[in-house]
Amino acid sequence: MSARIVRSQVIVVGAGFTGLSAAQLLRHAGVDFIVIEARERVGGRVEAVENGLGERIDAGGQYFCDDMPEISALADAYGKTRADGLFAGRWLIEPGTIVGTVEDLYRRSASIRHRANELDPDDPSIENVSVRAWAEAQPDAYDAQWAFLGTIEGLWCQPTDLLPLWYLVSNDRRITNEVPELQYFLKETMQSLAEDLGRELGPRLRLGEAVRSIRHGPDKVSIRTDAGLYEAEHAIVAVPPVMTRRLMYDPPLPVEVCQATSAWRSGKVIKALVRYEKPFWRDKGFSGSVFFLDPLGLYACDASRDDDHAAIVVFAGGSLAEKWRKAGNEAARTMILEKLATALGPAAAAPLDVTMRDWTNDPWSGGGYFDTIMDFSAKDAEAIMRRGIPSVTFASSELSPSYPGYIEGAIVAGRAAAQQAVVQTRAARADPDKALAILERIGGLPPEPGDEMPERTARQVFAPLNTKTP
């Protein structure tokens, strides 16, 4: 192994949108940093691949909407072209034997979700209740219950009988968009935006280096990769919670932090982009959106970049993704085309190309779309991870105060982690007023738990840190 030692003020582990956003803010603050990424690319759970037609397509995170200001602003700042993700026409329900309209079923299932969000996640009476058990106890008709459960399994990518109700409520309350989240995607791919952010980092971005261990103390952190050793005053571990616990720490993480990281499970999702010669479904007055009640966790919608790139994107989440993974790509491809043909007509069975991305058990992210807390007793897991430990901040979309699990949430979490890292540097403790000016320039003071925008002076922020050895 190389004896190379690279020193910096801050080390960021992971170059997904959380790590890239943290690095962007550190760069603007004038803080020296290094970003280490195990993959040979940036983006994390945002990924672009080339399909069989030679076109670059989104295989991971893709969509956003006007109610997500950070990702919207980034896309505009880097000159990206928005493609509409919503199309006129009828939405479909499968199986087609369901009585009533999609709009009526959506309204009734949405009322169940709204009712869930009115619950208090800290109510002891729901502490050990699963989402499915609660839904099946509601007075709503069976089809509305089933539609609600299908929506949750498709979005959270976990079996609803294993998903804590209190976690769903706590998580869903932070997803506040009023316009559909599938409103836009980028014609250049979301991955291209991650690449723009990574390109600005220059040699401070190290790709293809998997972190093997993190040695941490009050004022110093040492990170070992296959290529050598990195030393810094502070580290931002910007990877999903499940991947956080797979790293080796010296000394071992405190018991409560270990328990917090162990509460999470990676989501299971398979994404497929099915390309067609033309958007034939529009000729029938269909929007391309199909909400499947059988099987649960399956959803399809129009993802045509333009009229010359007709496409349907298919998402399979939770138990269905696990079933298809075990069946293999060819079997999953056949099932996808059968389901689309049943809903949209026989032309759906004759695509130009089908490109699939199986995110279940991904080696560097654990899964997709995001990790969820599956331990019914772990109500404080998020708060514990947000607090981190001396010299190490944990950050990921899952821990974001807004839009957890989304690219928007990843950006928010990364920037908050960068603010915290600025506070932790020796330079900040040596000159609190200068550090405060830097923080205000890059977006304000780092929030404390339960504190959205604290009104604190420089001495109040930095004085407690000055008890550490400089």
* Residue 82 counted as domain residue: no
CATH of the domain at 128: 3.90.660.10
* Residue 389 counted as domain residue: yes
Query: Is the pLDDT at 444 greater than 70, yes or no?
Result: no
* Residue 207 counted as domain residue: yes
Residues 6+ apart with CB under 8 A from 326: none
Boundary residue ending a domain (326, 358, 390) = 358
Boundary residue ending a domain (358, 390, 410) = 358
* Residue 171 counted as domain residue: yes
Report residue 81 as tokens: 């072209």
Spacing of C-alpha 101 from chain mean position? 32
Whether the CB-CB separation of 416 and 80 falls below 8 Å is answered with no
Looking at the structure, tell me whether residues 296 and 149 fall in a common domain: yes
Query: Is the pLDDT at 454 greater than 50, yes or no?
Result: no
Q: 458 pLDDT band (50/70/90 cuts)?
A: very low
Average predicted confidence (pLDDT) for the chain: 92
pTM for the structure as a whole: 0.93
Looking at the structure, tell me whether residues 274 and 161 fall in a common domain: yes
Average pLDDT over residues 411-422: 95
| 232, amino acid identity | A
* Residue 31 counted as domain residue: yes
Write down the pLDDT at residue 429. 79
Characterize 421-448 residue by residue with b for buried, 16 or more Cβ atoms within 10 angstroms of its Cβ, and e for exposed. bbbbbbebbeebeebbebbeebeebbee
Spacing of C-alpha 315 from chain mean position? 15
Range of the domain at 141: 87-179+268-358
Write down the pLDDT at residue 452. 40
Query: Is the pLDDT at 470 greater than 50, yes or no?
Result: no
Looking at the structure, tell me whether residues 289 and 354 fall in a common domain: yes
Write down the pLDDT at residue 100. 72
* Residue 78 counted as domain residue: no
* Residue 241 counted as domain residue: yes
Looking at the structure, tell me whether residues 163 and 284 fall in a common domain: yes
Looking at the structure, tell me whether residues 353 and 383 fall in a common domain: no
Whether the CB-CB separation of 271 and 356 falls below 8 Å is answered with yes
Average pLDDT over residues 135-149: 95
Reported as a single tens digit per residue, the pLDDT across 316-341 is 999 999 999 999 999 999 999 999 99
Write down the pLDDT at residue 312. 98
Q: Could you give the residue ranges of the DSSP H alpha helices within 200-318?
A: 241-244, 255-261, 280-283
Residues 6+ apart with CB under 8 A from 292: 93, 94, 150, 298, 299, 300, 339, 343
Reported as a single tens digit per residue, the pLDDT across 47-96 is 999 999 999 999 999 999 999 999 999 999 999 999 999 999 999 999 87
Between strands 10-13 and 33-36, the pairing is parallel
Write down the pLDDT at residue 91. 92
In this predicted model, which residue has the larger pLDDT, 95 or 268?
Answer: 268
Number of domains in the chain: 2
Rounded to whole angstroms, the Cα distance separating 193 from 437 reads 29
Looking at the structure, tell me whether residues 396 and 461 fall in a common domain: yes
- Decide: helix, strand or coil at residue 14: coil
Boundary residue ending a domain (323, 358, 393) = 358
Looking at the structure, tell me whether residues 330 and 392 fall in a common domain: no
Looking at the structure, tell me whether residues 250 and 392 fall in a common domain: yes
Looking at the structure, tell me whether residues 175 and 272 fall in a common domain: yes
- Decide: helix, strand or coil at residue 413: helix
Write down the pLDDT at residue 97. 64
* Residue 363 counted as domain residue: no
